[in-house]
Amino acid sequence: MAIDSMSWKCLKTALHTCCGLVLLFTFFFATAYAETPSERGRILADSPVYQNAIAGHEAAHPPSVRIEDNSGNPVSGVTVTFSVTNASGYISDAGHQLRVYTATTDADGRASVPSWVCDARSGKQHLEAINYLYEGAPVVFHLDAQPGPAARLEFEKHPQTTPAGLPIRELTVRVLDAYGNPVGDNDTEVLLISSDSSSAPISPLRARTTSGIARFDSLTITGTGSYTLEARADGLVSALSYPFMVSAGQASAARSTFQAEDELITADGMSSTQLTVRAIDNNGNLLTVGG
């Protein structure tokens, strides 16, 4: 039977309409019955979520997760992305330092990183395990990086220019680990010497640390000149202060001298003699260059 052009156009329109309805129905059906993360299953931590580690070292337990369905059965072949946040170290894999690492769950539904090395700076650090197709993502692992063993000293507050014999205020030396993190839980005796002259008159010479800091609040130096202090402690790398000056103190009437070149002169209004005044402070330092 022949179909005229008008009938053919009507048939094509009907076919297009039917196809469109089928596609629309398929879309709504798929949307209505698509699995949500909670229906698909969940992602769970399979290693400790909170750990402590020494700064710059590996965590004892590499972060690991487990993916299971709603019946508790492991789900294999699922990709999990592990990512470290800023200043949270790196994931170590065959000598490579990575910030992002992907792993696929095994037959037991587990995925993990080879190793998590925390940042050299102490403090809170974080790593996330992500697969948003499963409920519970992201799984966040926390690492509290602790300072390592005491390794060196550092002047926290350096000495300032001060008159001889007066206290140099707020001079402190602190104990650090190999990465420069303050080490607070130690009891260390710190010795101060002058790196310019070991016989320089410095007092006191020693102080013990409290919460990792040795305080020399009443340090005095009686000799004038330029100084650089060195802080020492057994088994630790020593530290040098910034250079500073010790100036002469106020003139002491008891120690200053007054001398005439001639013991006697004629009081004739014309005779004269040279007078020499030596201004000296209480520590014996001359107040003028050359006396």
* Residue 210: DSSP 8-state: B
Question: In sequence order, what E strands does 69-188 have?
Answer: 79-84, 90-93, 96-98, 100-104, 110-112, 116-117, 123-130, 139-146, 152-157, 162-163, 172-176
- For 210-262, the pLDDT digits (tens) are 999 999 887 888 888 888 999 999 999 999 999 998 887 667 666 656 565 55
Domain boundaries, the chain: 38-146, 152-247, 250-291
**Structure tokens belonging to residue 210:** 């409290």
pLDDT at 86: 79
CB 136 within 8 A of CB 113: no
Domains 38-146 and 152-247 belong to one CATH topology: yes
* Residue 284: DSSP 8-state: S
CATH code for residues 38-146 = 2.60.40.10
More confident position, 225 or 96: 96
More confident position, 39 or 139: 139
Rounded distance, CA 22 to CA 9, Å?
20
CB 136 within 8 A of CB 44: yes
- For 31-80, the pLDDT digits (tens) are 434 467 767 899 999 999 999 999 999 999 999 999 999 999 999 999 99
pLDDT beyond 70 at 84: yes
CATH code for residues 152-247 = 2.60.40.10
